[in-house]
């Protein structure tokens, strides 16, 4: 009989403030539902230059398997599949050994090629099962729940009543020594860059996450915000890097280029990862709809864009911005209350998929990231004197602070709350100290 019931598991995961560690930050306790046929564990880490998940697999494989097994048992899920790149041989071997030592036969590995974006949960599901999540749908529509491999580790910690107060963060790019930083939640980019020996250039852009889907901000803001529970990467890039310059285009220029320069070659569509699993996501038609009256219905395709960047950072021969055009259209449609209506899957779109997957190494070359290590090994610990702990850690509503300025807190203490039924997470102090500011974005704690 399982050591954990569903209610106990959900309660412990909620109490520990566990969120998806792969970037979106969806509250994990909301994923732990009945009727799941398969648990998929995303250990792909497909963005170039990131290595935090790989470190976790090498260092804590037994605890990862422990967290997976607890979810299987508590929710009566028949099996789990861990998706991992086959060329990560050390990580594959560590997981194999941990599964064998646990005796958990329902946990298996599915080894993938190194392509981008293999870590998109719907792409990963297609790779493992050959099935397509319906457009606008979620994995649960297929009886599947997906969690990140670092989330599985956080679940294991939650079962021991250890809240999610620290993250392993890859710091790469133009820094003295690219490293993986063991940091408290709320550490600032300035703290993380200092842990990597400092920046090697005077002016730079911060990329929070991977180079293709990460959020960008000027280097001057490095001390202004703290890293959250879903943030696993920090890149320091020169201002002339293509990752930076393409996203710097103003909205008016993006629209003007779509109207006047797009040659309708359709390469953006033919290489779109979601199109290639059968979704009617056709960026070239979104671009055309801006320029040609009478094709406004094609804008609806933009609702299916996951903003992976393949179209504008790799496919487009004209250097245009189909992704940003999709984002502009998607935001306007959602503001008007329009949602995805057509859930038709088009299997004919998948015919050439195997020949159109893009190796991660090609992105590294195309985006001028060759000067930075593709695999970061060294781990350092960061213990800043001040943390800016976000009250929102990804998808969902922000938490409500329950501490006031001047209050003394201990690491692990709840400092912001949501109801258990809310789509949100509890927030805990990540260091011992005194609350010096409580704002709409973050709670500041200083060591005293």
Interacting residues of 252 by C-beta distance below 8 A, sequence separation 6+: none
> What would the mean pLDDT of 316-323 be, rounded to a whole number?
93
What CATH number has the domain spanning 391-448? 2.40.50.100
Q: 365-372 contacts: CB < 8 A, separation 24 or more?
A: 366/242, 366/313, 366/314, 367/48, 367/211, 367/241, 367/242, 367/243, 367/313, 368/241, 368/242, 369/48, 369/49, 369/211, 369/241, 369/243, 372/49, 372/172, 372/173, 372/174, 372/178
Model pLDDT for residues 117-149, shown as the tens digit of each residue: 999 999 999 999 999 999 999 999 999 999 999
Q: Is residue 255 left, alpha or beta, with left meaning phi > 0 and alpha meaning psi from -120 to 50?
A: alpha
Strands across the sheet containing 166-173: 215-218, 205-208, 233-237, 166-173, 179-184, 379-381
pLDDT of residue 291: 78
Say if residues 381 and 181 touch (Cβ distance below 8 Å).
yes
Phi, psi of 209 (to 5 degrees): 120, -150
Q: Is the pLDDT of residue 373 over 50?
A: yes
Model pLDDT for residues 249-277, shown as the tens digit of each residue: 899 999 999 999 999 999 999 999 999 99
Tokens of 24: 């979106």
pLDDT of residue 1: 40
Model confidence at 63, pLDDT cuts 50, 70, 90, reads very high
Model pLDDT for residues 187-196, shown as the tens digit of each residue: 999 999 999 9
Say if residues 46 and 360 touch (Cβ distance below 8 Å).
yes
Distance from C-alpha of 160 to C-alpha of 50, rounded to nearest angstrom: 28
> What would the mean pLDDT of 289-297 be, rounded to a whole number?
75
pLDDT of residue 160: 96
DSSP state of 175: B
User: Which of 402, 351, 386 has the alpha carbon at shortest distance from 184?
Assistant: 386
CATH of 6-158, one of 3.40.50.11540, 3.40.50.450, 3.40.50.300, 3.40.50.720: 3.40.50.11540
pLDDT of residue 294: 64
In the chain, where the domains are located? 6-158, 247-366, 391-448
Model confidence at 296, pLDDT cuts 50, 70, 90, reads confident
pLDDT of residue 2: 56
């Amino acid at each position: 009989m399982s050591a954990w019931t569903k209610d106990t598991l959900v309660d412990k995961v909620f109490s520990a403030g566990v969120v998806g560690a792969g970037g979106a930050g969806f509250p994990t306790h909301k994923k732990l539902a009945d009727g799941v046929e398969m648990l998929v564990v995303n250990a792909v880490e497909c963005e170039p230059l990131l290595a935090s998940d790989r470190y976790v697999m090498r260092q804590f494989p037994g605890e990862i398997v422990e967290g997976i097994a607890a979810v299987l048992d508590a929710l009566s899920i028949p099996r789990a599949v861990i998706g991992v790149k086959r060329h990560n041989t050390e990580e594959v071997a560590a997981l194999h050994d941990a599964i064998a030592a646990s005796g958990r036969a329902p946990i298996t590995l599915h080894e993938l090629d190194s392509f981008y974006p293999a870590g998109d949960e719907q792409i990963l599901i297609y790779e493992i099962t050959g099935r397509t999540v319906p457009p606008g749908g979620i994995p649960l529509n297929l009886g599947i729940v997906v969690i990140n491999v670092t989330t599985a580790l956080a679940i294991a910690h939650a079962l021991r009543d250890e809240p999610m107060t620290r993250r392993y963060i890859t710091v790469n790019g133009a820094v003295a020594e690219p490293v993986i930083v063991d940091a408290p939640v709320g550490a600032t980019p300035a703290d993380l860059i200092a842990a990597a020996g400092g920046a090697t250039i005077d002016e730079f852009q911060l990329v929070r996450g991977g180079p293709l889907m990460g959020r960008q901000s000027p280097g001057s803001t490095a001390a202004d915000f703290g890293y959250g529970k879903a943030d696993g990467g920090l890149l320091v890039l020169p201002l002339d890097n293509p990752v930076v310059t393409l996203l710097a285009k103003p909205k008016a220029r993006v629209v003007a280029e779509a109207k006047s320069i797009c040659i309708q070659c359709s390469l953006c569509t033919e290489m779109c990862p979601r199109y290639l699993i059968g979704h009617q996501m056709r960026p070239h038609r979104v671009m055309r709809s801006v320029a040609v009256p009478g094709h406004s219905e094609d804008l609806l395709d933009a609702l299916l864009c996951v903003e992976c960047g393949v179209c504008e950072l790799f496919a487009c021969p004209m250097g245009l911005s189909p992704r940003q055009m999709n984002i502009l259209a998607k935001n306007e449609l959602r503001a008007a209350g329009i949602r995805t209506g057509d859930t038709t899957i088009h299997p004919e779109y998948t015919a050439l998929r195997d020949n159109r997957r893009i190796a991660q190494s090609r992105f590294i070359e195309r985006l001028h990231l060759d000067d930075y290590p593709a695999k970061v090994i060294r781990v350092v610990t960061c213990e800043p004197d001040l943390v800016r702990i976000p009250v929102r850690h990804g998808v969902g509503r922000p938490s409500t602070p329950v501490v006031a300025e001047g209050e003394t807190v201990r690491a692990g203490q709840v400092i912001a709350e949501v109801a258990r039924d809310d789509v949100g997470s509890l927030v805990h102090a990540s260091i011992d100290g005194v609350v010096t500011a409580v704002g709409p974005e973050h709670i500041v704690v200083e060591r005293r």
